[in-house]
Structure 1
Amino acid sequence: MNEIAVGVSTGGSATMRAVRWAAERASTSGSTLRLVHVVDESSTLVSRAAASPGQATSEAAIAAEAHLRECLDQAAALALEIDDRIEVVTTLERGSPVEVFERVSADAEMLVVGSDWHGGRRASRRRVLSLRIAAVSRAAVAVIPDLEPGERRGVVVGVDGSHISDHALAFAADEADRMGEPLIAVHSWDVVAMVGGEYGYGAPLIAGDDLARAESEILDAALAPVVAEHPGLEVVRSVVAGDPVHDLTEAAAGASMLVVGSHGRGALARFLLGSVSQGVLADLVAPTIVLR
């Protein structure tokens, strides 16, 4: 479906940045913008008041719900300031936020959530919730940091030669082409892990130069179809022996966007992100899109 769904909280700059980012994207893609606030019935004033007898509590519940709808209206007004041609739909849902956004994401091309988790600060409930929503989303999920946009340029993507990485690379190339910005492809590899050095064997058997050459070939092979499909696209290659999370966040510090594929695995894969995607979301430096 040609729809971008946005999680809207009860205000704050993180939510408004997410709404603005999604509205700008909807403006260029022609997508419907669905603004969703979820009333967590296990903990909200609305549910507690509705469950309690008495006129005062009922009035409190009505006032609380009116405030939530006002927050949705404010978000919609901001979106229409970006482009008054955007079709904006507001939805007030009840239930578990994670379950609701999993369902909503099934009918969306992208799910957008705001997060104030960046710069190594202590995790708030909102930051943790954004990770949980990203893990269950059935669509691409964009996590927008509460940071000033500034002068940013480039679309950074992590490349490791896997199928999900190829998917992320193709997506990032399309985005870079659409935005008229360079594609910055980062292939980061850990030489110690590659040669088994952490276990005390293997390192003498493989020369570092040979490994570097092999890793560079992985990036070249992944980029070949992208370059062929986007002949005018500026591509910046980066092959780094280091930690992927550190290298990606460093490359994306001044970028417009970071794109990663998620390698959640095992019986709980539906609820988990891979270590790299989880790592970059835990230290947001740019709008970050996770593909599964």
Structure 2
Amino acid sequence: MNEITVDEIAVGVSTGGSATMRAVRWAAERASTLGSTLRLVHVIDEAPADREGAEATSGETPGAADGRSRECLDEAAAVVADVDPGIETVTTLERGNAVDVFERISAEASMLVVGSDWHDGRRASRRRVLSLRIAAVSQTAVAVIPDLEPVGRRGVVVGVDGSHASDHALAFAADEAERLGEPLIAVHSWDVVAMVGGEYGYGAPLIATDDLARAEAEILETALAPVVAAHPGLEVQRVVVAGDPVNDLTEAAIEARLLVVGSHGRGALARFLLGSVSQGVLADLVAPTVVLR
């Protein structure tokens, strides 16, 4: 099996669905700019086809399944060549559980990219659930690409809450915004009820909303200070809003080129869980979204 290098972007290539090829194109454009190697990965899950995330191979001989998979990889390679024929591209056909395969790959890849074709309030498909599970187990950044037209979108949106994970996401988003020539849209969303202990107005300390707003704005400014210093020419838009972080980030990203969030998944179940915000934005995918651990 070929080794994976740290400057390699790995892309999940599944059979059927335009979201997969959008993901391949997105990854190819990134690889072309960064000079990264691109690995196109297709996983044949030989478990029963009704298992969540499994490729449907029931009724096919191993040879037929391999042939269909190779055709899918060839189609993806053609998309890469259309973006930039100079990209070093490797195709890999794997067997096993897709989540396990991508978890292993994530230990050495610089980024995983997967497609998701569930958006605009439609019911979750198995592929959508699979992308969430891959994001949860990944040891590297994961980009989940929806089947949405990218033309006319503007800005890199990032969620900021002052945490270490948020700082990591903010630094990544600023680099991406500068690379893409886009404004950075930093969103800090805070919950009044949570800030006063969940019983606002009924026994909890009365804190003026204006004072809270100023304090929350200061959190955003503190987080942004090193980013502004490192990227002096970058356009930065600040959004401080009292509300639900998932809803506010989703609203800010509806017309964005990219959404970036840090994951707060941690503890004994961290391998299987994302933080509530990253889980929420992936469950209502409105833009290409990168989740960072």
- Say yes or no: TM over 0.5: yes
| Contact kept in structure 2, 1:120 and 1:282, CA below 8 Å | no
Q: Distance in 2 between matches of 1:198 and 1:136?
A: 36
Q: Which residue of 2 aligns with 1:195?
A: 196
Instruction: Give the distance between the partners of 1:17 and 1:272, measured in 2 at CA.
Output: 26
Report the 3-state secondary structure (helix = DSSP H, G, I; strand = E; otherwise coil) of the residue aligned with 1:157. strand
Q: Hey, what's the Cα distance between the residues in 2 that align with 1:174 and 1:191?
A: 31
CA contact (8 A) 1:46 1:65 kept: no
**CA distance in structure 2 between the partners assigned to 1:101 and 1:84 by the alignment:** 26
Deviation readout 1:156-178 (Å, 9 max, x if unpaired): 00000001100100000000010
Q: Is the 8 A contact 1:105 1:139 kept in 2?
A: yes
Question: Greater helix share, 1 or 2?
Answer: 1
Deviation at 1:65, TM superposition (A): 1.1
CA distance in 1, matches of 2:201, 2:161: 25
Which amino acid letter does the alignment assign opposite residue 14 of structure 2? S
Cross-structure match for 1:43? 48
Identity %: 80
TM-fit CA distance, 1:270 = 1.1
Q: Give the Cα–Cα distance (whole angstroms) in 2 for the partners of residues 225 and 76 of structure 1.
A: 39
Match of 2:104 in 1: 103
Q: Which runs of 5+ in 2 are unaligned?
A: 1-5, 50-54
Q: Under a length normalisation based on structure 2, what TM-score does the superposition of the two structures give?
A: 0.93
Alignment of 1:82-161 (within 5 A): 82-161=83-162
Residue in 2 aligned with 1:232?
233
Please list the CA deviations of residues 135-173 of structure 1 after superposition, one character each: whole Å capped at 9, or x if unmatched.
001110000001111301100000000011001000000
Give the number of the structure whose alpha-carbon radius of gyration is greater: 1
Q: TM-score, normalised by structure 1?
A: 0.93
Alignment RMSD: 1.5
Distance in structure 2 (CA, Å) of the matches to 1:198 and 1:142: 38
**Offset of residue 46 of structure 1:** 8.8
Alpha-carbon distance in structure 2 between the residues aligned to 1:69 and 1:253: 35
Partner of 1:30: 35
Query: Within 2, Cα distance between the matches of 1:244 and 1:199?
Result: 19
**Contact between 1:13 and 1:146, CA under 8 Å: does it hold in 2?**
yes
Q: Which of the numbers 10, 19, 37 marks the counterpart of 2:15? A: 10
2:26 aligns with 21
- The residue that corresponds to 1:208 in the other structure is 209
Match of 2:182 in 1: 181
Q: Size of the alignment, in residue pairs? A: 283
SS at match of 1:270: coil
Unaligned runs of 5+ in 1: 50-56
Asked if the contact 1:145/1:285 (under 8 Å) is kept, the reply is: yes
